[in-house]
Structure formats: structure tokens, C-alpha cells
Amino acid sequence: TKPAMETAAEENTEQSQERKGCFECCIKCLGGVPYASLVATILCFSGVALFCGCGHVALAGTVAILEQHFSTNTSDHALLSEVIQLMQYVIYGIASFFFLYGIILLAEGFYTTSAVKELHGEFKTTACGRCISGMFVFLTYVLGVAWLGVFGFSAVPVFMFYNIWSTCEVIKSPQTNGTAGVEQICVDIRQYGIIPWNAFPGRICGSALENICNTNEFYMSYHLFIVACAGAGATVIALLIYMMATTYNYAVLKFKSREDCCTKF
């Protein structure tokens, strides 16, 4: 009947409007996501996790290699062992701090988007809010500079292990393998300054050095230091993205606080 057909048409129209309204709502929500801050947070968490996890295990393996091969006297590397143990505790603090800091920066990015404006009423800025955003800008810049130093420092053990590995490759090469000159190819770990010059033996040569390179401790420590260095580099990139995001957010809050606008960065 005609009334039934009109009723069905009205129901179809209402369902179509509901689907359209749901689609528009999803588009608005997606448009309000701070993608730069989100990418930076994921990259920061990944980089810090790699740096802290791999660095912690690699430091323990380095101590084992030194104790077993390069410094048999405990008193010679006692200071180094204490420093490494302190660095392992610092790694725990770094992981905890950046977990919280990444969440805070991500939340700050969400709360300066148009999606939050629509959900929580009119977008208004206060002197306290601008001060907090400015504090995040300053702190992120300081952390970025600090992590550049951490990235450079994490490359030092990679360089050291690479020199040892390349020396072992020379020993294994057909030109030197099995010749008398093999025992004259040495690595003196004392030249890196991590153990004193009176440490014994301090220098390993020939087949003994090749045996060290074939151990699991050396193989794992070398590759873990490489991954830790890559994690530090990823964290630096994440902090650079955070710098751009926080600076842009602060600029919007500072110069456009009286306008009906907000940032999606």
C-alpha cells in the first residue's frame, strides 16, 4: 500500500542520514588526530626501548669479555664495572622518564586539536596553558641536544667492537691465515682508555684474538651495540618531530589565542 511504501522510504532516508552522520563524525575525529605527535611517540618509544634494552645487555656482555680476556685482575677494571653498573641504573630511569614524557606530549597534541575543541566546548587559552606549552618547547629542545650527545656516545662502543672485528677478519683472511705473522696482529684494549695501562694482559694477539671474536658474548655485544646506537638515532629523530610539533603548538597558542582556531599538528 501507499502508506507502507512512504513509511519504508522514510526509514531508508533516516538510515541513510544516520550512516552519513556517522561517516562525518569519523572524518572529524580522524582529522583531529595529531599525526606528527603520534608518529613521534611511536618512534620515541621504539628508539628508547631499543637503546635501553640492547644497551643494558651489551654492557653486561662487555664486562664479561673484559674480565675473561683483557683484564684478569679485578682491581684493574673495578672502576669500569662500577661505571657500567651505574649506567645500567640510568637506563632504567631513561626508559621510565621517556615513557611518561611521550604520553604527556601526545596528550598535549590531542588537546590542541579541533576534535578536542568540539568535544569539550569552546577553545580558550590561558596564560598558564601558554606557559606549559612554552615549557614543553624548552624541555624538548634540551632533550634533543642531550640525545645528540647520547647518540654520539653510543657510537663509541660500536667503533671499538668494529675495530676488534675487522682485526679478526684480517687474521681469518687467506693471506694471513696459517702464517707466522698472525701472532703479530694484536688488539690493545687499553688504548681506548676503558682500562688502565697497567692492566694485564690488556693486549690479545693472533689465534687468541680470533677465539674471542668467535664467542657468543662478542657476537651478541657487537650487534646489540649497533641496535642500541640505531635506537638512539631513532629517538633523536622523534625528538626533532616533537620540537616541530611543540613549537607549532606554542606559536598557535601565543599568536592566535583570541581566534576560533586550533592546531592539528
Residue 229 to residues 11, 17, 210, 246, Cα–Cα distance (Å)? 61, 53, 25, 26
- Distance between the two ends of the chain, CA-based, in angstroms? 55
Query: Distance between CA atoms of 152 and 28, rounded to whole angstroms?
Result: 42
Residue with cell 625528538: 239
pLDDT at 80: 86
pLDDT at 262: 46
Mean pLDDT of successive 10-residue stretches along the chain, which has 265 residues: 49 53 65 79 93 93 88 83 89 90 84 51 60 84 92 93 90 67 83 84 86 90 95 94 83 62 46
pLDDT at 169: 87
pLDDT at 75: 80
pLDDT at 1: 53
Is residue 109 within 8 Å of residue 265, measured between CB atoms? yes
Query: Distance between CA atoms of 91 and 107, rounded to whole angstroms?
Result: 24
Is residue 58 within 8 Å of residue 225, measured between CB atoms? yes
